[in-house]
Amino acid sequence: MKKLTNILTAIALWIAFSTTVHAQEVLTNQDLIQLAKMGMGDAILLSKIKNANNDFDASTAALMALKAAGIGDAVLAEVITAANDPARKTVDANDPLAPHKPGVYYQDESGQLVELLPAVTSQNKDKGRITNILSQGWAKTTAISTLSGATARAQFYTPPPFYFYFNQQNVRFEQSSIGYYGFVQATSPNEFTLAKLDETGSNRELEIGAYSNIGSESGISEKHSKPFAIEQVAPGVFKVTPSSLPTGEYCFVYAGSAPAAGSLQRVFDFGVN
């Protein structure tokens, strides 16, 4: 009688569990452990994994916990595969710790994680060339990269923390799917510069170099560079907090290939007002 009661209890738990999974269509590590404790074999677990989305944790500690619960190697291998398949991975899109397509994001006032879309420099030009010629090369000529528009689309009263996502996350993304320059090569925000843009009325300008008889320099000038703090919050995920920024226009630039004469570049621009 006791055995029959246990069987009926197990069936009732299984029905309740199946109803929950069907409604949510998301499996977790704890779900697998509960199924294993109910006596479900690897064949059933494999079938559930292959026919449901998941929010699996495939870290070493999590896999050890699954193994300790009696789950077989074939299931563990499928957990790793499913956890690293973006098409099967279900996460909270507004959770900064969840995997995201590489790029720069911020949370708006409602808590939604919004992608900071890049802008492309429209042209590069020199400033002060005539003065340089008249001074026989002693006056400085400045190289300028121009962004169209007086302001960026993203405007903040107080700059929020930004989240940088690279392709070193727990869930990796295909290289061909990464559309934003810099996130293919870079692995941390240390490889980016936060730069202040000069406002000219109809456009925004970024000084990218200078030359004269005294010497030459290239890249973002020190007077335009602004500091920011970096905190790694997950593998491939970094929280970037700018220092106090006065009103103005700014952009994150991949320092590995900053705008240069004869080339255009993507930058992640925003404004503070």
Predicted confidence (pLDDT) per residue in 101-157, tens digit? 889 999 998 989 999 999 988 776 666 455 555 554 545 667 788 899 999 999 999
Q: Are residues 36 and 131 in the same domain?
A: no
Grade residue 65 by pLDDT with cuts at 50, 70 and 90: very high
Long-range CB contact pairs, 232-236, < 8 A, 24+? 232/188, 233/96, 233/97, 233/163, 234/97, 234/169, 234/170, 235/168, 235/169, 235/170, 236/165, 236/166, 236/167, 236/168, 236/169, 236/170, 236/187
Residue 93 covered by a domain? no
Residue 216: what pLDDT? 53
Grade residue 35 by pLDDT with cuts at 50, 70 and 90: very high
Mean pLDDT of 18-44: 76
Count the domains in the chain. 2
Residue located via tokens 């290239």 = 218
Q: Are residues 246 and 115 in the same domain?
A: yes
Read off the pTM: 0.64
Q: How far apart are CA 232 and CA 245, in angstroms?
A: 22
Q: Are residues 182 and 243 in the same domain?
A: yes
Residue 178 covered by a domain? yes
Q: Are residues 73 and 108 in the same domain?
A: no
**What residues make up the domain containing 74?**
2-83
Q: Are residues 121 and 78 in the same domain?
A: no
Q: Are residues 229 and 182 in the same domain?
A: yes
Q: Are residues 118 and 66 in the same domain?
A: no
Q: Are residues 110 and 40 in the same domain?
A: no
